[in-house]
Structure 1
């Protein structure tokens, strides 16, 4: 079967050359780091959504609304991170098995009390910050300003969110 010029037969595999000024080796390493960030962010999203559904107690309304704000932002963030990985020419992880393998955030069994939920979310946001920071050396070496900008934005947001959550734990 002949296809129009430039369209490969379905059984042929072609790889489009990516020439964005970042070597394939650096793009691969950056994407691996961003995949860990994606896994942490998705795990935190799921945990936050779970806590939104299951929070109880005197702070219910405040926490329910706050957690919704947080998981909504995280839902947008995971898309942005995955799209950056794709922009680098790599595949983004997208299964629970991959996220469990790549994430530094542990799953929480059961339904913790509200204050424990807050403390766990602080730990989760701080873990995302550490993961984002760990990617900077290769991003800077490759002069990947787009990924650096993404990382900076994620760090700022998660540090601020962790601070706000920590404030709820103080007497």
Structure 2
């Protein structure tokens, strides 16, 4: 059936492509955060183990919201490691860094997700795609706060 939500197919495709990059970044950050949760050691173990768990659980929920928005716009959501690797701006962690380096990498990942979400916003705003704009705003707010909290652990 034809989609008639007041946004052209071309505009919906542009937004869905941006959301696909956001999905890839979010999923890659989820994997990195989950790995760090499993592998963190040192004096901050308990704090970081629990903090990373909270973060990867939130990211797991977020990937579903983003993918469902892509589907609502009428396009398939990427769902393979190969697709995510091609679309993400976040570098995978292939080793187990020290706890403070884990925090630095997660700050960088959180900020990367914010930049990706922000890059999609103009396309959504241009065509009055309020549901996507709302999703992007919520994602940016959450990732900025998480980056601040992680960054704060490295200060002082």
TM exceeding 0.5: yes
For normalisation by structure 2, the TM-score amounts to 0.99
For residue 140 of structure 1, give the secondary structure of its aligned residue in structure 2.
helix
For residue 51 of structure 1, give the secondary structure of its aligned residue in structure 2.
helix
The reply to whether residue 132 of structure 1 matches residue 124 of structure 2 is no
- Deviation (angstroms), 1:108: 1.6
- 2:57 counterpart (61, 69, 72): 72
The reply to whether residue 147 of structure 1 matches residue 132 of structure 2 is yes
Q: Deviations over 1:111-160 (max 9, x none)?
A: 00000000000000000000000001110111000000000000000000
Question: Which residue does 1:51 correspond to in 2?
Answer: 36
- 2:10 counterpart (16, 19, 25): 25
For normalisation by structure 1, the TM-score amounts to 0.91
Aligned residues: 156
RMSD: 0.4
Higher helix share: 2
| Alignment gaps of 5+ in structure 2 | none
| Alignment gaps of 5+ in structure 1 | 1-15
1:41-120 matched pairs, under 5 angstroms: 41-120=26-105
- Work out the CA distance in 2 between the residues paired with 1:142 and 1:90: 17
- Deviation (angstroms), 1:101: 0.3
For residue 111 of structure 1, give the secondary structure of its aligned residue in structure 2.
coil
- Deviation (angstroms), 1:109: 1.6
